[in-house]
């Protein structure tokens, strides 16, 4: 299924209609630019930064799980040292 926010345009269309295309990018639309029928690039919107109040960040981290770094390291080391082919299947 095609993404309705994604369009294919030619290099010539980009030059001719750049204002309208940039407005589309501002609205969240993406464009694949083609030259002689071959895709050569993508024009996509940048993600805008979202301000999050300090109080909300502090509240979120206050309820987050506490991580014991020594236990985390031991768990990771155990997983890495496993032989994926040593199974009793």
The residue among 48 and 7 whose pLDDT is bigger is 7
The CATH architecture one would assign to domain 6-43 is 3-Layer(aba) Sandwich (3.40)
Contact criterion met (CB below 8 Å) for 30 and 6 = yes
The beta strand positions in the chain, using DSSP E, are: 6-10, 30-35, 38-43
Q: For 18-35, how does the pLDDT look when each residue is reduced to its tens digit (9 = 90+)?
A: 999 999 999 999 999 999
Q: For 27-58, how does the pLDDT look when each residue is reduced to its tens digit (9 = 90+)?
A: 999 999 999 999 999 999 998 778 889 999 99
């Amino acid at each position: 299924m095609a993404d309705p926010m994604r369009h294919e345009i030619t290099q010539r269309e980009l030059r001719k209609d750049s204002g309208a295309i940039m407005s589309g990018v501002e609205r969240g639309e993406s464009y694949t630019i083609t030259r002689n029928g071959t895709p050569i690039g993508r024009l996509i919107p940048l993600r805008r930064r979202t301000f999050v109040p300090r109080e909300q960040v502090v509240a979120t981290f206050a309820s987050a799980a506490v991580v014991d770094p020594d236990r985390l390291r031991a768990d990771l080391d155990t997983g890495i040292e496993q032989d994926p082919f040593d199974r009793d299947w």
